Amino acid sequence: MKRKLYIFIGLFFLLLKGLNAYAQDVPVACPGSIVRYGVYGDNGNSVFNWVVTGGTIVTNWNDSIEVSWPWGLTDPQTITVTETNLYGCTGEPYFTTVIISNPSVDIGLDADICQDQTYEFFASSSEAVNYLWQDNSVGETFIASTTGEYWVRIEDSYGCRAIDTAVLTVHQNPVIDLGNDTAICEPGEILTLQLDTMYSEYLWTYEGGTSISSYMNVEASTESRDFWLQVTDQYGCIGSDTITVNFCGEFIIPNAFTPNNDGVNEEWVIENLNLFPEVTVDIYDRGGSNVFKSKGYQKPWDGTDSNGRKLPMDSYYYVIDLHNGETPIVGTVTVIR
Q: From 232, 251, 252, 228, select the one nearest 241 (Cα to Cα).
A: 228
Hey, what long-range contacts does 309-315 have (CB within 8 A, 24 or more apart)?
A: 310/259, 310/337, 311/285, 311/335, 312/337, 313/337, 314/285, 314/286, 315/286
Query: Burial of 39 by CB count in 10 Å (0-12 exposed, 13-18 middle, 19+ buried)?
Result: buried
Residue 41 has a pLDDT of 57
Interior angle at CA 32, CA 31 and CA 35, nearest 5: 85
Q: What is the mean pLDDT of residues 82-102?
A: 89
**Other Cβ atoms within 10 Å of 252 Cβ, number:** 10
Contacts of 327 (CB under 8 A, 6+ apart): none
Residue 5 has a pLDDT of 38
Q: What is the pLDDT of residues 288-337, one digit of tens each?
A: 999 999 998 888 999 999 889 999 999 999 999 988 778 899 999 999 98
Q: What is the pLDDT of residues 232-249, one digit of tens each?
A: 999 999 999 999 998 877
Asked if 46 and 16 touch (Cβ cutoff 8 Å), the reply is: no
Sheet of 130-133, strands arranged across: 111-114, 161-171, 148-155, 130-133
- In the chain the domains, ranked by start, together with CATH numbers, are 4-100 (2.60.40), 111-171 (2.60.40.10), 182-247 (2.60.40.10), 256-335 (2.60.40)
pLDDT band at residue 12, thresholds of 50, 70 and 90? very low
Asked if 12 and 26 touch (Cβ cutoff 8 Å), the reply is: yes
Q: Which residues of 158-175 are buried (b: 16+ CB within 10 A; e: fewer)?
A: bebbbebebebebbebbe
CA distance 35 to 29: 8
Q: Is pTM, for the whole model, over 0.85? A: no
CA distance 105 to 102: 10
φ, ψ for residue 301, nearest 5 deg = -70, 135
Answer whether residue 26 shows pLDDT above 90: no
* Greater model confidence, 95 or 259: 259
- Under DSSP, the state recorded for 275 is G
Answer whether residue 112 shows pLDDT above 80: yes
